[in-house]
Amino acid sequence: MNERPKEISYYAHEAEMARVEAHSWRWMIAALIAFAALILTNFGWIVYEIQYQDVVYTENTQDGSGVNVMGDNNTWDKNP
């Protein structure tokens, strides 16, 4: 069982290394595209959500019979 591993030629080895290098570049480019897409979609969602940041203040009051009543306290909508 003391067989030596089969030797491959230098050219076959270089061809395989070139193939591996090409695949690694493709994976790196794919990872960069995926990362850029992630950043852009997150930025898009942030821009989309910013347009809906309205703050509405409500106040709870109690009428004479002890019932809680919720009403708007938006002072910018009320006429002076």
Residue located via tokens 């959500």: 49
Q: Is residue 30 part of a domain?
A: yes
The list of the chain residues with pLDDT below 50 reads 74, 79-80
How many other β-carbons are positioned within 10 Å of the β-carbon of residue 40? 10
Within-domain flag for 80: no
> How many structural domains are present in the chain?
1
Within-domain flag for 62: yes
Instruction: Write down the pLDDT at residue 80.
Output: 46
Tokens read off for 52:
């809906």
Range of the structural domain that residue 66 is part of: 10-72
Rounded to 5°, angle at Cα 44 from 40 and 48: 175
pLDDT tens per residue across span 38-55: 999 999 999 988 887 666
